[in-house]
Amino acid sequence: MQIADALDRAHRAGVTHRDVKPQNIMLTRDGVKVLDFGLAKSIAKIGPNDATLVANLTTEGTILGTPQYMAPAQFDGKEADARADIWAFGAVLYEMVTGQKAFQGKNYSSLIASILTTEPPPMSVEPFTPVWLERLVRRCLAKDPEERYQSMRDMVLDLRTPPQDAVAATVAKASRWPWVAAVALLLISTIISSALWMRKTIEPAMAVKLEVPPRPAASSL
């Protein structure tokens, strides 16, 4: 939420970061800091010289950013807006939850192909990852910018107040998990005990043969 809130503040100030990635996110005693706005573009208070610089940086065909966190449109050299930051945030959030990058490739070409044509693997780590969180990340990573969140503010609100039905279902599912494990363990123990008892009862009785020699006759004097 702190990362999303920082980007929301930047967007509302007219600044698009354009290089959101883990290396530009720092945890401090005061909370999260989003750093390195070196590729950022401001649409507010652009002076004559700045306007020329921005125009040069956003010329069609120019690729800016870190490939694994770039939205598909950026590879076409299209101008990045707030929705590109939303895509990058989705990729970062996916990596935070799963420990894996959302898109991977053996080389630059295969990485771009993965971003443009494939979907990341499911991020659910049952029963701990809420379904609503995966839906949020999937919406961030939609190929079509029109299908993503249109503002970081909307995402901040969804993170703060997730769907109550989804939260209740997740809590109920997590609370049932120890009971399911206990029942399964009890069932397994019962099956093993029953099998041992049945084996014991069906084992054939061992025949015991005793030979008693006859008592010798008393000798006559």
Considering only CA atoms, which of 203, 202, 88 is closest in space to residue 149? 88
pLDDT digits (tens, 9 = 90+) for 146-173: 999 999 999 999 999 887 655 555 555 5
Determine the pLDDT at residue 66.
Answer: 87
Highest mean pLDDT range out of 31-35, 40-44, 123-127, 164-168? Answer: 31-35
Q: What is the pLDDT of residue 88?
A: 96
Q: For domain 2-162, give the fold.
A: Transferase(Phosphotransferase); domain 1 (1.10.510)
Q: List all residues 6 or more positions away from 33 whose beta carbon is below 8 Å from its beta carbon.
A: 6, 25, 26, 27
Among all residues, which ones are annotated catalytic? 19
- Report which residue type is found at 191: I
pLDDT on residue 54: 38
For residue 49, pLDDT over 50 is answered with no
Determine what percent of the chain is predicted with pLDDT higher than 90: 44
pLDDT in tens, 207-217: 656 676 776 66
For residues 187 and 192, give the distance between their C-alpha atoms in angstroms, rounded to a whole number.
9
| Per-domain residue ranges of the chain | 2-162, 163-200
4: enclosing H helix or E strand: helix 2-12
pLDDT tens for residues 167-209? Answer: 555 555 555 555 555 656 666 667 766 666 666 555 555 565 6
Q: What are phi and psi of 206, to 5 degrees?
A: -80, 125
Q: What is the pLDDT of residue 167?
A: 52
Is the pLDDT reported for residue 9 higher than 90?
yes
pLDDT at residue 83 is higher than 70: yes
Strands annotated E in the chain: 15-16, 25-28, 31-34, 41-42
Sign of CA dihedral 155, 157, 162, 165: negative
- Using pLDDT thresholds of 50, 70 and 90, give the confidence band for residue 79: confident
Q: Which pLDDT score is estimated for 107?
A: 92
Residue 85 pLDDT greater than 50, yes or no? yes
Residue 129's pLDDT is 79
